Structure 1
């Protein structure tokens, strides 16, 4: 079993031993056991509050193996609006529910929820069910450590 104890920033030129595909929720787990597709077991043991991002590099405690984190595709709802103001209104209402939301100038993305889908459609937004990597905001008080 690999014990992954260090997180380094993304570097596409880094040669890695493995890749580990994780959902958005899994990337928020700073201490967890994961099994890779080939059956290899890895244990992530990072400082509490560490949120992994797509492309981050994890190193094992013996400095032998490097693992690249990949954002795994998962079911999501992608929300589009006719106007920036309507998209901002949707972000406000979703924020009031304290949900993980990916925010961009073009769309919002969230985990599937039939009640929220109806609410957003009633507000005049287009909601599309997709299977894509999900990159929600980490929150104003979250911290990211990549030293």
Structure 2
């Protein structure tokens, strides 16, 4: 089983042949130590420095130089959209006050589906749309996106 010990940001492996691809949910991309199966059926071990957050588009690099591309899995999410920036700001405040991971886009907020949160946002005047999409929330002011500086 090959061990992957570093994570490099998108475009850092540009031009290299990607050996494999692994599709991971947001929850799995937060775990720094785990065994996963690639799309090609290969079992690999991820052993990253604590606190590393893997993002879709990043790549894992093994001790032997192998490269695995990370794809953010489609997940059940709710998205609220509005042209009213004040309303979205209030929604973001209430979600953040509950320590909910939120993906922020221009005119929209996205979070993992939760009927309680959907109801709360309806009370604010927003209409959550439930669907499947990759989920890449903000990492937060006190977290960090640790990556290796090594060239691949």
Fold-level similarity (TM above 0.5): yes
What is the TM-score with the length of structure 2 in the denominator? 0.91
Alignment of 1:24-39 (within 5 A): 24-39=26-41
For 2:71 and 2:3, locate their aligned partners in 1 and report how far apart those are by CA, in whole Å.
Answer: 18
Aligned to 1:6: 6
Gaps of 5+ in 2: none
Task: Give the superposition deviation at 1:56.
Answer: 0.7
1:16 to 2:18 alignment: yes
- List 4+ stretches of structure 1 deviating above 6 A: none
TM-score normalized with structure 1 length: 0.93
CA contact (8 A) 1:82 1:125 kept: no
Q: How many residues align?
A: 146
Q: State the distance in 2 between where 1:68 and 1:133 align.
A: 15
Q: How does 1:1-147 map to 2 (within 5 A)?
A: 1-11=1-11, 12-63=14-65, 65-146=66-147, 147=149
**How big is the alpha-carbon RMSD for the aligned residues of Structure 1 and Structure 2?**
1.2
In structure 2, distance between residues paired with 1:85 and 1:117 = 18
